[in-house]
């Protein structure tokens, strides 16, 4: 089953790995070429590579699109793709239980998502650190070393659950977008505002809260996936 899952989803593995590898390389190159966070976040209007980095940072800090991409590309098609085309029936008639089928898929892709997003978050946090003394850590709250991997795992699980319930890829993708943005708005309105800006200890407390929130939501979504597969297709 592991080999079959690898064959089925190898392009998803490659896509997720490539996306985070390219983004990590972007900040490694920026650091090596002198385009550090202090230059990027300076108050003056800048262009070129620093200007591109500034725009990228503002986009991620505002809408956190990376978890959305993970959920749409890795989570939504995971089950919905098979259910939509009926290929799940083949696996279930080959002596593979539904639980094993789902566990293998979610563990393999979930591990890839977590490892590569955590590696990128670590590289990005190191690049940003010189500016933290001036602008505080909350400028990268959505891309922190704890928050980003947890958010990516949540959107992956959300896409998986939506795919199991809806059985179609496009509606599952739409659910990822709406669901992630809804959680983001609530989290920023009721959690982030209660922490002091610019202070590293409060920042890491906030990161831990984000980790717990997203991990809990991911666990709930995965539970929904198992229940849907067990009951909906019995």
Q: What is the pTM of this model?
A: 0.89
The pair of three-digit structure tokens given for residue 137, joined into one six-digit string: 């850590």
The pair of three-digit structure tokens given for residue 36, joined into one six-digit string: 């550090």
Domain boundaries of the chain, sorted by first residue: 65-232
The pair of three-digit structure tokens given for residue 108, joined into one six-digit string: 């393999």
**Successive 10-residue mean pLDDT values, the chain, 234 residues:** 66 92 96 90 78 91 92 92 68 66 87 96 94 85 92 97 92 96 89 61 85 96 90 65
CA dist., res. 97 & res. 152, Å (int): 27
- Phi, psi (rounded to 5 degrees) for 135: -100, -5
Q: Looking at residue 198, what is its pLDDT? A: 47
Q: Looking at residue 190, what is its pLDDT? A: 79
CA dist., res. 205 & res. 211, Å (int): 10
Cα-only R_g, the chain = 19
Q: Looking at residue 96, what is its pLDDT? A: 64
Q: Looking at residue 206, what is its pLDDT? A: 86
- Name the residue among 72, 28, 65 with its Cα closest to residue 163: 72
- Name the residue among 143, 12, 120 with its Cα closest to residue 70: 12
Alpha-carbon distances of 170 from 136, 151, 176, 177, 184, rounded to whole Å: 39, 21, 10, 11, 21
Q: Looking at residue 220, what is its pLDDT? A: 96
Total Cβ atoms within 10 A of residue 8: 16
């Amino acid at each position: 089953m592991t080999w079959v899952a690898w064959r089925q989803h190898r392009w998803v593995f490659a896509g997720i790995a490539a996306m985070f590898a390219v983004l990590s390389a972007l900040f490694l190159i920026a650091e090596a070429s002198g385009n550090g966070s202090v230059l990027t976040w300076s108050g003056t209007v800048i262009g070129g590579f620093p200007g591109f980095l500034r725009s990228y940072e503002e986009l991620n800090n505002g809408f956190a699109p990376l978890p959305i991409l993970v959920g749409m590309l890795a989570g939504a098609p995971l089950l919905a793709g098979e259910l939509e085309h009926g290929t799940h029936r083949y696996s279930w008639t080959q002596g593979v239980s539904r639980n094993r089928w789902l566990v293998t898929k979610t563990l393999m892709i979930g591990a890839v998502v977590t490892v590569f997003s955590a590696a990128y978050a670590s590289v990005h946090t190191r690049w940003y650190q010189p500016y933290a003394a001036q602008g505080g850590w909350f400028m990268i709250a959505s891309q922190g070393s704890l928050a980003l991997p947890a958010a990516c795992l949540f959107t992956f699980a959300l896409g998986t659950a939506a795919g199991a319930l809806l059985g179609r890829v496009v509606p599952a993708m739409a659910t990822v977008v709406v669901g992630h943005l809804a959680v983001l708005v609530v989290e920023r309105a009721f959690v982030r505002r209660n922490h002091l800006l610019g202070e590293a200890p409060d920042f890491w407390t906030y990161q831990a809260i984000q980790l717990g929130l997203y991990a809990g939501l991911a666990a709930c979504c995965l539970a929904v996936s198992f229940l849907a597969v067990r009951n909906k297709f019995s």
